[in-house]
Protein backbone atom coordinates (compact mmCIF):
# COMPACT_ATOMS: atom_id res chain seq x y z
CA UNK A 1 0.00 0.00 0.00
CA UNK A 2 1.38 3.38 -1.00
CA UNK A 3 -0.22 6.81 -0.67
CA UNK A 4 1.35 9.95 -2.07
CA UNK A 5 0.49 13.61 -1.36
CA UNK A 6 1.49 16.08 -4.06
CA UNK A 7 2.84 18.71 -4.32
CA UNK A 8 5.00 19.06 -1.20
CA UNK A 9 4.51 22.83 -1.03
CA UNK A 10 2.04 25.36 -2.35
CA UNK A 11 -0.05 28.44 -1.72
CA UNK A 12 -3.44 28.47 0.01
CA UNK A 13 -6.43 28.83 -2.31
CA UNK A 14 -4.33 28.49 -5.49
CA UNK A 15 -2.54 25.16 -5.14
CA UNK A 16 -4.52 22.03 -5.91
CA UNK A 17 -3.13 19.21 -3.77
CA UNK A 18 -3.85 15.54 -4.36
CA UNK A 19 -3.66 12.22 -2.57
CA UNK A 20 -3.27 9.05 -4.61
CA UNK A 21 -3.22 5.57 -3.06
CA UNK A 22 -2.31 2.30 -4.74
CA UNK A 23 -3.10 -1.04 -3.18
CA UNK A 24 -4.40 -3.43 -5.82
CA UNK A 25 -7.48 -4.03 -3.67
CA UNK A 26 -10.92 -2.57 -4.35
CA UNK A 27 -12.64 -3.12 -1.00
CA UNK A 28 -10.80 -0.47 1.04
CA UNK A 29 -12.27 2.63 2.65
CA UNK A 30 -10.14 5.80 2.74
CA UNK A 31 -10.27 8.76 5.09
CA UNK A 32 -8.19 11.84 4.32
CA UNK A 33 -7.86 14.71 6.80
CA UNK A 34 -5.55 17.58 7.69
CA UNK A 35 -4.38 19.58 10.69
CA UNK A 36 -2.80 23.01 11.01
CA UNK A 37 -0.64 23.44 14.11
CA UNK A 38 -2.25 22.02 17.25
CA UNK A 39 -5.81 22.38 15.99
CA UNK A 40 -8.10 19.37 15.69
CA UNK A 41 -8.03 17.34 12.47
CA UNK A 42 -10.51 18.30 9.75
CA UNK A 43 -11.88 15.64 7.43
CA UNK A 44 -11.33 16.15 3.71
CA UNK A 45 -12.88 12.93 2.40
CA UNK A 46 -14.33 9.57 3.46
CA UNK A 47 -15.05 6.92 0.86
CA UNK A 48 -13.70 4.35 -1.58
CA UNK A 49 -11.99 6.67 -4.08
CA UNK A 50 -8.22 6.13 -4.23
CA UNK A 51 -7.57 9.67 -5.46
CA UNK A 52 -8.72 12.99 -4.05
CA UNK A 53 -8.03 16.63 -5.01
CA UNK A 54 -8.27 19.46 -2.48
CA UNK A 55 -7.09 22.90 -1.39
CA UNK A 56 -5.55 23.59 1.99
CA UNK A 57 -5.43 26.63 4.28
CA UNK A 58 -2.11 28.28 5.03
CA UNK A 59 -0.04 26.70 7.75
CA UNK A 60 0.88 28.42 10.98
CA UNK A 61 3.79 30.86 10.43
CA UNK A 62 5.25 29.86 13.82
CA UNK A 63 5.48 26.27 12.53
CA UNK A 64 7.02 27.13 9.15
CA UNK A 65 3.58 27.10 7.41
CA UNK A 66 3.38 23.32 7.90
CA UNK A 67 0.07 21.52 7.31
CA UNK A 68 -0.15 17.81 8.15
CA UNK A 69 -2.25 15.60 5.85
CA UNK A 70 -3.38 12.24 7.25
CA UNK A 71 -4.49 9.05 5.50
CA UNK A 72 -6.33 6.22 7.28
CA UNK A 73 -7.35 3.06 5.47
CA UNK A 74 -9.96 0.55 6.63
CA UNK A 75 -10.49 -2.91 5.12
CA UNK A 76 -13.82 -4.70 4.75
CA UNK A 77 -13.37 -6.39 8.14
CA UNK A 78 -13.01 -3.06 9.97
CA UNK A 79 -9.26 -3.19 10.55
CA UNK A 80 -7.88 0.32 10.36
CA UNK A 81 -4.34 1.57 9.78
CA UNK A 82 -2.75 4.14 12.06
CA UNK A 83 -3.09 7.68 10.67
CA UNK A 84 -0.20 8.19 8.24
CA UNK A 85 0.99 11.82 8.47
CA UNK A 86 2.59 13.75 5.61
CA UNK A 87 3.74 17.34 6.05
CA UNK A 88 3.31 19.88 3.29
CA UNK A 89 4.12 23.58 3.32
CA UNK A 90 1.22 25.91 2.51
CA UNK A 91 2.06 29.60 2.27
CA UNK A 92 -0.55 32.35 2.64
CA UNK A 93 -1.76 33.80 -0.66
CA UNK A 94 -2.59 37.28 0.56
CA UNK A 95 -1.72 39.79 3.23
CA UNK A 96 -3.75 39.29 6.39
CA UNK A 97 -4.15 43.04 6.93
CA UNK A 98 -6.12 43.67 3.72
CA UNK A 99 -8.01 46.93 3.69
CA UNK A 100 -11.23 45.28 2.62
CA UNK A 101 -12.76 41.91 3.48
CA UNK A 102 -14.60 42.23 0.17
CA UNK A 103 -11.30 41.76 -1.70
CA UNK A 104 -10.68 38.48 0.13
CA UNK A 105 -14.21 37.18 -0.49
CA UNK A 106 -14.00 38.07 -4.17
CA UNK A 107 -10.63 36.31 -4.52
CA UNK A 108 -11.96 33.18 -2.79
CA UNK A 109 -15.02 33.12 -5.04
CA UNK A 110 -13.03 33.53 -8.27
CA UNK A 111 -10.57 30.83 -7.28
CA UNK A 112 -13.37 28.43 -6.34
CA UNK A 113 -15.02 28.98 -9.72
CA UNK A 114 -11.73 28.27 -11.51
CA UNK A 115 -11.31 25.05 -9.55
CA UNK A 116 -14.89 24.02 -10.29
CA UNK A 117 -14.34 24.69 -14.00
CA UNK A 118 -11.28 22.44 -13.95
CA UNK A 119 -13.24 19.65 -12.25
CA UNK A 120 -16.05 19.99 -14.81
CA UNK A 121 -13.54 19.56 -17.63
CA UNK A 122 -12.12 16.48 -15.88
CA UNK A 123 -15.64 15.03 -15.60
CA UNK A 124 -15.20 14.08 -11.96
CA UNK A 125 -18.70 14.10 -10.47
CA UNK A 126 -17.54 13.13 -6.99
CA UNK A 127 -14.96 15.91 -6.91
CA UNK A 128 -17.51 18.43 -8.22
CA UNK A 129 -19.85 17.48 -5.39
CA UNK A 130 -17.06 17.80 -2.83
List, for residues 68-121, the tens digit of each pLDDT value. Answer: 999 999 988 889 988 899 999 999 886 555 454 456 567 667 777 777 777 777
Which residues does 117 contact at the CB level (< 8 Å), separation at least 6? none
pLDDT digits (tens, 9 = 90+) for 33-69: 999 999 999 999 999 888 899 999 999 989 999 999 9
pLDDT at 103: 61
- What is the set of domains in the chain, with CATH numbers? 2-93 (2.60.40.10)
Q: How far apart are CA 127 and CA 122, in angstroms?
A: 9
Instruction: Tell me the pLDDT tens digit for each residue of 1-11.
Output: 788 999 999 99
The helix/strand count (H/E) of the chain reads as 2, 8
Q: Is the pTM of this model over 0.85?
A: no
Q: Under a CB-based contact definition with an 8 Å cutoff, are residues 5 and 17 in contact?
A: yes
The pLDDT score that the predictor gives to residue 95 is 56
User: Cα–Cα distance between 7 and 9 in angstroms, integer?
Assistant: 6
Amino acid sequence: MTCRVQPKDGVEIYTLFSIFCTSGKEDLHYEFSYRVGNSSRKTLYKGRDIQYYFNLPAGDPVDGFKVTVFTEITNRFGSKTQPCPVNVTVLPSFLRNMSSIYELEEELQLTSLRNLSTLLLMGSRIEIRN
